[in-house]
Structure 1
Amino acid sequence: MDLSIVILVICLVGFAAIHSLLASLPFKRFIRRSLGSKADKLYMPVYNVIAVITIVPLAYLLYKNPGPFIYIVPSPWRWLMVGGQVIAAIIGPRALKDAPHRFRLHSQLSAPDTPEAGHLDIHGVYRWIRDPFLFSGLVIMWLTPFMTVNLLIIYILTTIYLIMGSLHWESRLVAQFGNEYLEYQENVHRIIPRLKGYHEKKR
């Protein structure tokens, strides 16, 4: 195996390990115990900064060592693909805005049907898709209008990691929202958007 691919895979595994640790419930409980209520405001900004810092080396190495080209999509199709990437890139921030209660540390560590856990409250992009972050990540990657050997390997491994991360994230949401989320899972797809928006039953 080419040395550049080995280095890229090691960087990706390192990023995945750090990302998984920071996202784990035991680590979140430790942060909550250590910082108290301050953790609720600090966790997400610090988490995002660390995610960016740890992904930069991988992006740089891919830029320096892309490997042989497999294909390059010609115009005008490449611009359609880029347009799809731009739309997908907007979905992530929108998803954070549409469900801030899902990302509050004290809520994530609470049991279902408690005031701290809160109500599922489905609106915005979540009416059409359960995991907009997985959807946008896959679209941004696989609509890249060119492909190299190294990029393909990283995209395949990242896709596996994102899907596994989505499964873990949903198990945490079930732990937080209980039957509300189980009912939601039955009506909205994880990756493929619904044609008709989902409406919660009034409680």
Structure 2
Amino acid sequence: MVSSKITAVISLVAFAFIHSLTASLPFKRFVMRVAGPRAEMLYLPAYSLTAVLTILPLVYQLYKNPGRVLYKIPSPWRWLMVGGQLIAGMLAPMAFRDAPHRFKISSQLSGPQASEADALKIRGIYRWVRDPFLLSGMVTILLTPIMTVNLLVIYLLTTIYLFLGSLHWESRLVAQFGDEYREYQKRVHRIIPRIKGNVKESDRL
């Protein structure tokens, strides 16, 4: 029904607004002014918790009003797809683990020439793909074994949001790391994993 689609879209828009606001540099500058240096340590856990809490209304809406079923993948392929989704879900924690310096507020606000700036430090998952979060989201969407009308609408809008968010995130990384990141962009794809000739952990670009 149309109303269920609208409700789900409103929930997604609300999540996207809050998620984008809390990820923005002006908001982080405000938090640093108010909370001081301790915000550096607490911001990422608080940001992640906020993301989870604000996505729950959308999950609830899709659970209560999934809409007409478009297709169902039969077993055992269904479980293989779910397994792929679980593996994709592990990419986000790996991304945080392998590049914690990318998420430091002081480094994000300083620019590549400032004393607070960090080197790019390519390691872990980032040797194969530039945006593990985008890859994780796209794999999760593509491997969904049961697709409904409402879920498809949300997935299409989410794909657009993820792609635009990735473009914005990379512009921030260029501002944060400068020419180091521009050279990295030439060697590693944004979303397609680089299987051969991956960047070594010792490379400083």
Same fold (TM over 0.5): yes
Counterparts in 2 of 1:99-110, with a 5 A limit?
Answer: 99-110=99-110
Give 1:48 deviation, angstroms.
0.9
Q: Which runs of 5+ in 1 are unaligned?
A: none
Kept in 1, the 8 Å contact 2:110–2:176? The answer is yes
Over aligned residue pairs, what C-alpha RMSD do you find?
A: 1.3
> What is the match of residue 181 of structure 2?
181
Q: Normalised by the size of structure 1, how large is the TM-score? A: 0.96
Aligned equivalents of 2:204, 2:123: Cα separation in 1: 13
> What is the match of residue 46 of structure 1?
46
Percent of residue pairs identical: 63
Counterparts in 2 of 1:110-129, with a 5 A limit?
Answer: 110-129=110-129
Moved over 2 A (4+): 199-203
Deviations 1:36-93 (A, max 9, x none): 1011011111111111111000000100000000000011211221111111111110
Q: Normalised by the size of structure 2, how large is the TM-score? A: 0.95
Counterparts in 2 of 1:9-158, with a 5 A limit?
Answer: 9-158=9-158
**Count of aligned pairs:** 203
Give 1:201 deviation, angstroms.
4.1
Deviations 1:6-26 (A, max 9, x none): 111111111101111111111
> What residue identity is the alignment partner of 1:136?
S
Give 1:112 deviation, angstroms.
0.5
Deviations 1:137-177 (A, max 9, x none): 11112211110000000000001001111111100000000
Aligned equivalents of 2:142, 2:28: Cα separation in 1: 32
Kept in 1, the 8 Å contact 2:92–2:133? The answer is yes
Q: Which runs of 5+ in 2 are unaligned?
A: none
- Do residues 159 (structure 1) and 139 (structure 2) align? no
Aligned equivalents of 1:25, 1:75: Cα separation in 2: 46
Aligned equivalents of 1:79, 1:155: Cα separation in 2: 20
Indicate the SS of the match to 2:70: strand
> What residue identity is the alignment partner of 1:2?
V
